[in-house]
Structure 1
Amino acid sequence: MEHKKEGKNSSDKVQIKPYKKDAEYSYTLGAFPTYELILSKPEKVRQVVAHSSYTDMDGLMDLCKKHNIPVEINDKLISKLSDKENCYVAGIFDKYSCRLSQDKSHIVLVNPSNMGNLGTILRTIAGFGIYDLAIILPGADIFNPKCVRASMGALFKVNFQFFESFDEYRRQYKDHDVFTFMLNGERTLDIADCSKSELFSLVFGNEATGLDDSFLNAGTSVKIPQTEDVDSLNLTIAVGIGVYVFNAKNLR
């Protein structure tokens, strides 16, 4: 069953194909991230697709009508886009670029490789009030539906910017105090003794290798205290701890 739209020209039907990194669009999977997309980036939404059994169809239709977004009811397409049985809504949106805020603190991820982790980090930093994320390439595809879904819509609230190298990032944001999180960091992270900084950049390596020793001299190196029972903390956990401690010290 199809429902021809209310809003933009219904003849401009979006041809939806399986996601590819070089495509001009991506999509949200699930009602919550789709609502976050519409509320945060309505101008980027091409179309919303819903399953006929979605329970809040009137609310979805009203929101899309308000923002002049086409809606299509298409059970087969929903099944094609998602392998999750509980996915009833998807949003197709144009990819876009951002720039980081000069006057806000940043999180910097060096070569993040896992899309689920990247999405969870977006959700985590937004939850702690950090809205600027630098990604040093190569890195996971931030627009991959797996990342978008893991972020639960936080992607659309966070500024992100890609850099070919950490040096390129530093040249553009010279006023930030850099703190590199490393297993052999010189300073142990502690709330009471955490550095106070008006503008900080918390730098984390990827899931497999972390940061190499060159980052010991990139700023103040920091280690998160842990027992010897594990070799390292999960990247998403490390980012959450780092952001929480620095916020507790600097945002009071």
Structure 2
Amino acid sequence: MLEKLKRYNKKSRYSYSFGAFPTIELLRYKSQNAVKVLISSKFNNREVVEEIKRICDLNKIEVATDDKTISRISNKENDYVIGVFEKYTDHIEGANPHVVLVNPSDSGNVGTIIRSSLGFGIKNIAIIEPAVDIYHPNVVRSSMGALFRVRIEKFDSFGKYCKMYKNHKKILFMLDGAKTMEEIRLDKDELYSLVFGNESSGLDSSCKKYGEAVFIQHQDTIDSLNLSIAASIGIYYFTR
């Protein structure tokens, strides 16, 4: 029997997808981890409700109209659909390109980068700890459910990641990078990792020994780009 649901806690066995679209993504791509869907009595999109119930019926997932529980676990008044899912462990694939996030601390940035990665075709993401909790509902929400369509694996250090994936060419995005993205040459089918640092501190200079440091050219009217914007630009460029 499912325990009484409370506001999200990192130590909890379960997390939540807030919103109809992220919840449908959960049901479509991680139905084996979905345990329940809560629907508000105020939600009147019959087509969406029918789709949710159809998928849940196929996978024997409970659906309930439960305003009280929704109010208890949600931070917003307009969360009319909530998916409850059991946290899971994934492993990235060695035969495909990677996005690597070193010590990311902002859940919104991480969710946006996950969504951009999926949108541009990279479905393997390494997270170097310490880092934001990838199963926090804010990450799920900002990824618009893309979290459920990619593989994410956590590593204790960037060095350990590099040791495990020696054949991936490491492209390090740094403000003091020696090359522009245009100067990096990748052979056809060459494996690569696009590496991005923390929002405030970036990548440590010691990371340079693992790969080539690049920078994204922009006008001098700004000093830097937001992490999620820089990552989206970099991912787009190398997946064209």
TM-score range, shorter chain: over 0.9
The equivalent of 2:162 in structure 1 is 170
The two structures, once aligned, show a CA RMSD in angstroms of 1.2
**Quick one: which of 136, 145, 148 aligns to 1:144?**
136
- Unpaired runs of 5+ residues, structure 1, are 1-11
How many residue pairs get matched?
A: 235
**Which of the residues 47, 57, 72 maps onto 1:65?**
57
Q: Secondary structure of 1:124's partner?
A: helix
Q: Which residue, 216, 235, 240 being the options, matches 2:208?
A: 216
- Which residue does the alignment assign to 2:172? 180
Alpha-carbon shift at residue 82 of structure 1 (Å): 2.1
In 1, the alpha carbon distance for the partners of 2:87 and 2:61 equals: 16
Range moving further from structure 2, 106-115 or 46-55: 46-55
Runs of 5+ unmatched residues, structure 2: none
- Runs of 4+ aligned structure 1 residues displaced above 4 Å come to none
1:196 alignment partner in structure 2: 186
Q: Tell me the alpha carbon deviations over residues 42-96 of structure 1, each in whole angstroms, 9 at most, x when there is no partner.
A: 1101111101132223332222111110011011222222233332110110000
1:38-117 matched pairs, under 5 angstroms: 38-54=27-43, 55-56=45-46, 57-117=49-109
Task: Quote the residue 2:115 is aligned against.
Answer: 123
Taking the aligned partners of 2:143 and 2:181, their CA distance within structure 1 comes to: 26
Residues 226/182 of structure 1: CA separation in 2 closer, same or farther (3 Å cut):
same
TM-score if structure 1 supplies the norm length? 0.90
Identity %: 45
Name the stretch that deviates more: 71-80 or 204-213. 71-80
Deviates more, 1:39-48 or 1:79-88: 79-88
Q: Deviation per CA, 1:201-248, whole angstroms, max 9, x where unpaired?
A: 011101001012112222111011112221210000111111111112
